[in-house]
Structure 1
């Protein structure tokens, strides 16, 4: 079995791994300014670990011309990938040449093949099995078996329970593990502690007559914030792409930890109606409520309306729910109290704080997961310190390395 990293090695974004020039695992894009893409490829088949932009965002581009490789994924990943592709076409239309068209997006339905967890299937001559990765609904570890070598591609995963999902417990036998390393140098408090700190902070601001804007990623984080708000009795509005994502999750309840708790959170939250949301946004900013809205790092979305509306009053608050990548408006606002919002530099008097609701395993979670693979070759990817983490693993007795993009590896 030969591997070639087309993207996502020693970086976060544009994940793509090719097996024997035949089977492609993930095909994402890094949504920067401008976006970055993995190397071109024409596979026989594709398997997709989960429906985030950096793993599934470029899939329609594989369907240009006469190419029609089957795409294998779970039902939630299929739904999310199509939703993200539509959003990409809309957002990139006026700024960059989008690498795919509406016609290629429509072809996703022609080549889609969905599978549940632990249901083995054939793809490009390999036996493939998905295991619940605990990251977002539908996320999967991908096990690939060619009869001689068992390759486990972890995708993004979480070992800790969230309200939306249980942490991964899957540890299938494997000879080689391609493991993400996003938070290999971060150790988090217990999830319950993070939730309580967030809830108490929001409650205090609302009690004092303020409004709380909660920037959140549309996929996973918005729904997690909704469920925390419901559990603590906090009134919340939901705006942005997270509204459509939430609706998709209603159709695949079997991929959620507690479908009834999710249903209650949906009933508790107030979703902005698409036809009247511009008028609603102006009213809501003055209603002393929690507003869960995209974008999670303030790089667009309805947050561009809400942040200016509360910026001038220290009674209000911005409560981030995840890591803010350096160079994003969210990072600038969290670190300096000012940022470029919707094209203009803005000083924000509202209080700004961060809460780490990440759906990735932290350092302890990564080590706990990898402890089951001490006899396997470990290839570290999807992180900004992959070589350092690989060295730490070697010091702990693992056979570990951190390939570069373009690297070919013979197993």
Structure 2
């Protein structure tokens, strides 16, 4: 089995692994200005998508530009979320020559959409007997519908972890899957981090939000639409914090509620959604809300688009206000700039932000200890490390502890 790393190698973003020039695992994009897409020009027979985040699914419609129509395999939530992300990408970048697909290609997803549940093996590229593969998806504990991907060609069993979390979140339960494998391709986003206990993070965040509101300030919580928005709504509801919700997270929450079997507590999610007031953005509503003293959960999580572009300029001048960053901030994004410098480029303008900025670790990824606990089940299995800023360092740590571990480079092909 040959694995070619078209993206996500020694970086976070644009995950794409081509198996034997036939089967593509994920096909994402790297958020930035301009956005970056996987290298090469793959022409797979089939695609398996691990989950509905932009860095894993964002470029999939581009695979449907030619006459070929590779089947796209994913869970039901991922299928729906992929379309939301694709249309948002077109809204933001559709007029750019760098955008690799159009609305026509998004429509074509309906021709190739093949949905699967967890632990239900299915044939790909003709199946094992036809010279192809048997694939099984397992709950990865990352976001609703997220999956580990086990690929079996009859000789080699590749276990692609994709993004995963070993601990429970309010939205989804942590992964318990440890299938037998001959090689493991493991993410490492937080390989150099130890997460604070989630209940402690929740309490600090809720206390900070309540204090700011009590003092007369507004709190803007930029959040990823998929996963993080719903998690924050659940936390706010559990801590009796009234909330506004704005942006793509509104539609995503509606989609996620359609698949109760893919969330940890559907009733809690319904309660959280009922506790949140939806912002329509009409008639200056956002500007009025920003002048009040409320919690506003809104996209984009890295301050590179969405209603956050309205809220941050409105609240930035008042030190009584607050911005709580709750997700990973890719280098070069306005969110990373704000955390590091107190300034951010919003809608083309560099803005000094006097409002207090805080960062909270609500990560949906396994941390260092979680990764090591997960990989303890594979001590005698070769490990390929990807999707991280320090993949080589983590691979070296594993190798020092007796693992056969390496971190492939972008464009490299590895035979397993």
Query: What is the TM-score normalised by the length of structure 2?
Result: 0.96
1:265 aligns with 2:285: no
SS at match of 2:319: coil
CA offset digits 1:7-37 (Å, max 9, x no partner): 1111111111111111111011112111211
1:234 aligns with 2:241: yes
Q: Distance in 1 between matches of 2:180 and 2:167?
A: 21
Q: Distance in 1 between matches of 2:73 and 2:330?
A: 30
**Counterparts of residues 3-402 of structure 1 (less than 5 Å):** 3-38=3-38, 39-124=40-125, 125-273=132-280, 276-402=281-407
Which moved further from structure 2: 229-238 or 303-312?
303-312
Q: Do the aligned partners of 1:230 and 1:265 also contact (CA within 8 Å) in 2? A: yes
Q: Distance in 2 between matches of 1:53 and 1:336?
A: 26
Shift of 1:138: 0.4
Unaligned runs of 5+ in 2: 126-131
CA offset digits 1:354-378 (Å, max 9, x no partner): 1011111100010010000011110
Q: Distance in 2 between matches of 1:220 and 1:277?
A: 26
Q: Which runs of 4+ in 1 moved over 6 A?
A: none
Q: Distance in 2 between matches of 1:37 and 1:341?
A: 23
Q: Distance in 1 between matches of 2:350 and 2:18?
A: 42
Shift of 1:336: 2.2
Q: Do the aligned partners of 1:184 and 1:366 also contact (CA within 8 Å) in 2? A: yes
Q: Distance in 2 between matches of 1:9 and 1:331?
A: 21
Q: Distance in 1 between matches of 2:167 and 2:376?
A: 16
Q: Distance in 2 between matches of 1:199 and 1:142?
A: 35
Q: Do the aligned partners of 1:128 and 1:143 also contact (CA within 8 Å) in 2? A: yes
In the alignment of these two chains, the number of paired residues is 409
SS at match of 1:128: strand
Query: What is the TM-score normalised by the length of structure 1?
Result: 0.98
Q: Do the aligned partners of 1:34 and 1:96 also contact (CA within 8 Å) in 2? A: no
**Counterparts of residues 400-411 of structure 1 (less than 5 Å):** 400-411=405-416
CA offset digits 1:71-107 (Å, max 9, x no partner): 0000011011111011111110244432011111101
Q: Do the aligned partners of 1:70 and 1:111 also contact (CA within 8 Å) in 2? A: yes
